[in-house]
Structure 1
Amino acid sequence: SGSRNWNAAKDLQRYRHHYLGLVESENEEEEEMWNLSFYKNEIRFLPHGLYIDTLLECWKNNYDVLEDNHSYIQWLFPLRERGMNRHARPLTWNEIQAFKRSKEVMQRFVRAYQLMLRFYGIILVNEETGELRRAENWAERFQNLNRFSHNNLRITRILKCLGEMGYEHYQVHLVKFFLTETLVKETLPNVKKSALDYFLFTIRNKRERRELVHYAWQHFKPQSSFVWGPHDKLLKYRPRSAKSQLHQKAEDKQKTPGEKSESSVEKDQSQEQEAGDAADLQPEVNNDVKEKITSLTQREEKDLNSDAEEVQGTAENDCTKESKKRKLDANMADTKRSGALKSPDIENIARNLGECAI
């Protein structure tokens, strides 16, 4: 059976929204860019570390060191949040831009990604697309991955860092790889929970994330216990293959301006079938509670779902939240006076609506 980790959901929503409210230095010249200096091969990672060129060369196949050393990962894949290594510095927005401007630095970043992939028994087949496959020693490396769960945290860090550095397409392939191995091939049972709670929701692109949520739901057993998206929307959702998208683009080019293709009409008719960000955030609730939420607090639920589907980087302000809270309180007060629902029912509705807003 599935159970959703809501602490993970909150953490990853904050990441996907680019750490809204995070205060950083705005003066790039005065900022000490430790992560950039490490990637420029100017300083060693701390504590007791190596220069990155030495690390990438000497640790290439040294799996024991990669497993046992817990200081390097925060330097190879820095994030805009603090980790367990107190000597590592959080990544900043200015640093991210500086990383992307340096071809040499980004080449090292891809090499670092390949280093960790090999450690996990994975090969980067295509540097342009991010396509992956199993390495020849995958069985041995998967055994290690199943045994040491701290690697799940490392993979989450790697996925987040890929997103920060502009490698979202790498993210998608890596998440799909782990969903396939955990849910379809069932080779990584001890990674499955992290793949669903964490890996899956590092994807910032809504369309890609919806595709992956649907893919996970299709292969989860038992499907009725899948809690990472609402079943009604997942049942209606139609994933789009790469071939169909290319065909659609070619077809649209042949149409005269203002004329819709047949597939475009179908798309218009089935827009409501797409699983929105609610597939990321909404828990499953029983039918009785759903009916009561719909009949009594339809507007509030609509507002909350709308918030969940906002463009990345936006969030409702405190005034909006307070306004919605007052509306919800007023509706519940009216309901209580009319005797339509008992107190426990009202509490259930409030709790479920609260979870929708996570």
Structure 2
Amino acid sequence: SGRRNWNAAKDLQRYRHHYPGLIQSENEEEEEMWNLSFYKNEISFLPQGLHIETLLESWWDNYEVLEENHSYIQWLFPLREHGMNLRAKPLTCQEIQAFKKSKEVMQRFIRAYQLMLRFYGIILVNEETGELKRAENWAERFQNLNRFSHNNLRITRILKCLGEMGYEHYQVHLVKFFLTETLVNETLPNVKRSALDYFLFTIRSKRKRRELVHYAWQHFKPRGSFAWGPHDKLLKYRPRSAKSQLHQKAEDKEETPGKKSDDSVEEDQKQSLEEEQKAGDAADLQPEVNDEGVKEKSSECASKGGDGEEEKEASFTQQEEEDLNSETEEVQGTAESDCTKESKKRKLDGNMADAKKTGPVKSPTDIENISRNLGECAI
């Protein structure tokens, strides 16, 4: 089906903008950091849980417990929103910064990620880049993933938490992995909708998200039913690899002597870069979501960490909201409104009336000049 889940779109948009309108506790710094204490191995998860070191060691291969226990996931991957476990505590901005500053805590976080990847039949190949591959027992684990749909909710939570903890590059690899398995290899049919509605839009980086939307569109069948990006922009969009080739061609021209003058080469490069910029601007693959909450001020958490690109996006939610509605803007183009045209026409008519009173009627050439001065308004 090519129908879009707009509730999911709004939920993920709110997450990407760092929960605009979320009320933070005035005494957040004085409050106990439950999630941090759990990751420091000081407390057990609730209810009736274990310390994290015990969990990571004893549950490594215990797939049955990982499947049937529904209390641990909110503690392993805390979010700034409430989940189904009422005993779990929402993540705070203060905790996010404390997590990132502790090497011990972040090492446990990576181990928790590896634990869940293993449960889903995936292996983290490179801790530096986040590269993934299938585990040897992938067929068995994929069967479990196809059978129990609540794992789709868990994966969405994991992706969101990766973003909060500064592992956006891990997010991209995990989303790409599931898009490949659902759309290309077709091994996870019951994960497909979640991958498109939820996983894909956890990526805060607009550039990376565009690349993944384009990748999904390329492999979606039938392509005409793809509902997660505007088709006209998807057709115009050029992936990063194509842009890199364009830059390389420009450099090759500059390094090849005797073929063109320096001015000519510089002009070609300028034109190529302008074309690339236009293609990038035209390929805004964001969904159009009229969510009033996005227009509210983002919470302060966005300004306390993360890379520059994401901070910029979070700080200018109104600008991105305009991007979301860019299709409408393109239809309007740069044409003047009917009111403006009518106003100019009235001015022109007034000038012609004054001319009749004060002197002879102006020639067609004079009228054309007046029209040109008024902004080339049609008469």
Give the deviation of 1:182 after TM superposition.
0.2
Unmatched segments (≥5 aa) in structure 1: 284-303, 305-309, 321-333, 335-358
Distance 2:224 2:288 in 1: 15
Q: So what's the TM-score if we normalise by structure 2?
A: 0.71
Map 1:204-353 to 2 at 5 A: 204-241=204-241, 244=244, 251=251, 265-274=271-280, 278-282=284-288, 311-316=313-318
Match of 1:203 in 2: 203
Residues 88 and 224 from structure 1, CA distance in 2 versus in 1: closer, same or farther, beyond 3 angstroms?
same
Unmatched segments (≥5 aa) in structure 2: 256-261, 290-294, 296-311, 323-338, 340-379
Give the deviation of 1:277 after TM superposition.
8.2
Q: So what's the TM-score if we normalise by structure 1?
A: 0.75
Match of 1:192 in 2: 192
Bigger Cα Rg: 2
Distance 1:224 1:275 in 2: 23
Match of 2:81 in 1: 81
Higher relative contact order (CA 8 A, sep 6+): 2
Deviation readout 1:223-279 (Å, 9 max, x if unpaired): 000010000000010001299389759959x999xx959566423113232367852
Match of 2:298 in 1: none
Cα RMSD (Å) of the superposition? 3.2
Identity of aligned residues (%): 77
Match of 1:324 in 2: none
Deviation readout 1:139-178 (Å, 9 max, x if unpaired): 0000000000000000000000000000000000000000
Q: Does structure 2 conserve the Cα–Cα contact (< 8 Å) formed by 1:210 and 1:276? A: no
Residues 125 and 49 from structure 1, CA distance in 2 versus in 1: closer, same or farther, beyond 3 angstroms?
same
Q: Does structure 2 conserve the Cα–Cα contact (< 8 Å) formed by 1:45 and 1:75? A: yes
Match of 2:35 in 1: 35
Number of residue pairs matched by the alignment: 295
Residues 242 and 61 from structure 1, CA distance in 2 versus in 1: closer, same or farther, beyond 3 angstroms?
farther
Q: Secondary structure at the match of 1:311?
A: helix
Distance 1:244 1:165 in 2: 30
Residues 5 and 277 from structure 1, CA distance in 2 versus in 1: closer, same or farther, beyond 3 angstroms?
farther
**What code does the residue aligned with 1:226 have?**
F
Q: Does structure 1 conserve the Cα–Cα contact (< 8 Å) formed by 2:45 and 2:51? A: yes
Match of 1:351 in 2: none
Map 1:54-65 to 2 at 5 A: 54-65=54-65
Match of 1:153 in 2: 153
Q: Does structure 1 conserve the Cα–Cα contact (< 8 Å) formed by 2:246 and 2:272? A: no
Q: Does structure 2 conserve the Cα–Cα contact (< 8 Å) formed by 1:12 and 1:202? A: yes
Residues 277 and 57 from structure 1, CA distance in 2 versus in 1: closer, same or farther, beyond 3 angstroms?
farther
Q: Secondary structure at the match of 1:118?
A: helix
**What code does the residue aligned with 2:77 have?**
F
Match of 1:68 in 2: 68
Residues 235 and 201 from structure 1, CA distance in 2 versus in 1: closer, same or farther, beyond 3 angstroms?
same
